[in-house]
A and B are shown apart, each in its own frame.
Chain A
């Protein structure tokens, strides 16, 4: 009992040491404006930002901003998955020569700077939700396709041969061998896609939107509402980190058969 208790304390201690620099950073940030070595007109202390969150939530519009931002990124993300994963499978597994033909084109398209395409999306799809969702879709699509294709291509041919030797039909082969084999890559693609999705969404909202977190931050900057600016920035960062963590967690859950590499 005492032993386990000690290990818990030890764990807490480890966590504390790990996050010491982060804690120190926040302490300096908190004390800076209060003690006056950072200008409080430019830098709001974290506690003030925290109070501001409560104000924003009780006054009612923060939740809706978060909601609309998440809604946009989730829709775009899932559309990209629905299109990208089957396409990646087809390119990686079944149409190899075709893949060779289109791969450079796809790579080049993936290189396209999404910001520079945003005006084009607006031009074609209008300034409503569709252009933002299309942009998210676009930035999510490439990592999903490329990673799925790589996953299918990197599959150990021995496994496929073994499957064939045991008389698996095509569907079973797909479900039992190709899919699990490619899953680590596919999930990696999802992870990349989710973080870029959120990143781009904020940019898209800053450039042309009337709701959403990106708009909130941009609006705060234009109106010189410093605590709101920090609050929005903090919230976006926290949300991005949370999404990242969630994906890592899912990855662990799904890939139970894969051993963790010690890094």
Chain B
């Protein structure tokens, strides 16, 4: 029984901090530590959410849809391209890599006006900005991962007589899985970052728009609601990717840090 409690305590330790902060946040206005005109308490945020549940859901789904569309398009192009470049065309990769690095380092945000110029202010420009900001980390990590697969493994697979497809499926893909996943998670967080910004600058729906609209109309609890919702969403998304990664990569021991 005691042992179980200890285990529970260990698991819950992360939540204590949250609980303390939430309680402080909620109670602070009572003691005049913060001004509710500027800082909404958690109960006010929940209340704001309860008033407009359907609207909030629509905004959430709009934003998530946009991110996922760009993100999956980026995965579908970047992963095969990265595998090809890293594994089969090292020379092409050497030739193109500096350009890709340059593209990846360019401030995606400063390109947004250009995307509007080319693709208009509708969905297409948002799709492309997400696509653009997701594709470079995924591509570079995939290329790197495939390139760095231990050649010894490939050689030994060859010596056992594996054909190209089997080498690809059983050696290269698993070997590159970690870097690919880390590219995927960087891409996802970039995607979430960019969609909010893009929606704040020019849109008529989505969480970014919800926040900027609430701030223009000075509905303070809704600003906080939007911010918290986005944080929870991106947290969930990262968590899902991590879980997916761990369910696929079962052969690697967990390093205890």
- Scan B210-234; emit 1 where CB is below 8 A from any A CB, else 0: 0110110000100110110011001
Known: A116-B226, A233-B110, A233-B111. A108 touches B200 (CB 8 A): no
Q: Which residues of B contact A95 (CB under 8 A)?
A: none
Q: Which one of B47-55, B77-85, B96-104, B245-253 is at the A interface?
A: B96-104
Question: Would you give the shortest CB distance from B92 to chain A, in whole angstroms?
Answer: 10
- B69 at the A interface (CB under 8 A): no
Q: Mostly helix, strand, loop or mixed at chain B's interface?
A: helix
Question: Is A21 touching B106 in the complex (CB atoms < 8 A)?
Answer: no
Across the interface, do A113 and B105 meet the contact criterion of CB distance under 8 Å? no
In the complex, what distance in Å separates the CA atom of A100 from the CA atom of B10? 10
- A206 vs B201: C-alpha distance when bound (angstroms): 8
The answer to whether B235 touches A111, judged by C-beta atoms less than 8 angstroms apart, is yes
Question: Which A residues touch B118, using CB under 8 A?
Answer: 42
Size of the A side of the interface (Cβ < 8 Å), in residues, is: 52
> Are A100 and B231 touching (Cβ within 8 A)?
no
Residues on B with C-beta less than 8 A from A118 are 200
A117 to B207 alpha-carbon distance, docked (Å): 12
Question: Does the CB pair A202–B14 fall under 8 Å?
Answer: no
Q: Is the CB of B211 within 8 A of A116?
A: yes
The answer for the CA separation of A240 and B208 in the assembled complex, in Å, is 25
Residues of A within 8 A of B196 (CB): 113, 115-116
Residues of A within 8 A of B208 (CB): 115-116
Say which residue of A17, A25, A101, A199 sits within 8 Å of B109 (CB atoms). A199
> Are A240 and B113 in contact, CB atoms less than 8 angstroms apart?
no
Question: Which residues of chain B in 131-169 are interfacial with respect to chain A, using CB atoms and an 8 Å cutoff?
Answer: none
Contact between B17 and A236 (Cβ–Cβ < 8 Å)?
no
B-contacting residues, A216-230, CB 8 Å? 217-218, 220-221, 226, 229-230
User: Judging by beta carbons under 8 Å apart, are B18 and A108 in contact?
Assistant: yes
* Interface size bracket, B side: 35 or more
Q: In the complex, how many angstroms separate the beta carbon of A239 from the nearest chain B beta carbon?
A: 9
Task: Evaluate contact between A226 and B110: CB separation under 8 angstroms.
Answer: no
Contact A104/B107 with A22-B99, A116-B211 known, Cβ cut-off 8 Å:
no
CB–CB A104/B18 < 8 A: yes
Q: Give Cα distance in the complex from A41 to B108, angstroms.
A: 22
Q: How far is the CB of A236 from chain B (nearest CB, A)?
A: 4
Smallest Cβ-Cβ distance to A110: which chain B residue: B231
Is there contact, CB below 8 Å, between A233 and B114? yes
At the interface, yes or no: A174 with Cβ under 8 Å from chain B?
no
A42-B17 contact given A18-B98, A123-B215, CB 8 Å threshold? no
- Let me know if B58 is at the binding interface, CB within 8 A: no
B33 within 8 A of A: no
B3 close to chain A: CB less than 8 A: no
The reply to whether the CB of B15 lies closer than 8 angstroms to some CB of chain A is yes
Pick from B201, B212, B238: contact of A119, CB under 8 Å = B212
Which residues of B from 162 to 200 have beta carbons under 8 Å from A? 192-193, 196-197, 200
Contact between A108 and B113, CB atoms less than 8 A apart: no
Give the residues in chain A near B108, CB-CB below 8 Å: 199
| Interface membership of A57, Cβ < 8 A | no
CB pair A103 B110 closer than 8 Å:
no
Known: A217-B113, A221-B113. A244 touches B105 (CB 8 A): yes
A117 closest partner in B (C-beta): B227
- The answer to the question of B241 belonging to the interface, with a C-beta cut-off of 8 Å to chain A, is no
B6 touches A (CB below 8 Å)? no
B197 and A21 within 8 A (CB) = no
For the complex, give the distance between the alpha carbons of A232 and B114 in Å: 11
Interface-central residue, A108, A116, A117, A119, by most chain B CB under 10 Å = A116
Q: Which residues of B line the A interface, CB within 8 A? A: 13-18, 21, 38-39, 94-99, 102, 105-114, 116-118, 192-193, 196-197, 200-201, 207-208, 211-212, 214-215, 220, 223-224, 226-227, 230-231, 234-235, 238, 257
Q: Which residues of A contact B (CB under 8 A)?
A: 17-22, 25, 42, 100-105, 108, 111-120, 122-124, 153-154, 198-199, 202-203, 206-207, 213-214, 217-218, 220-221, 226, 229-230, 232-233, 236-237, 240-241, 244
Given contacts A100-B14, A119-B211, A236-B110, 10 further A-B contacts (CB under 8 A): A21-B99, A101-B16, A103-B14, A116-B230, A120-B227, A153-B257, A202-B110, A221-B117, A233-B113, A236-B107
Jot down 23 A-B pairs with beta carbons below 8 A, ordered by A. A21-B97, A22-B98, A22-B99, A100-B14, A102-B17, A104-B14, A104-B15, A104-B18, A105-B17, A112-B227, A113-B192, A114-B193, A116-B196, A116-B211, A120-B223, A123-B220, A199-B109, A220-B113, A226-B117, A233-B110, A237-B105, A241-B102, A241-B105
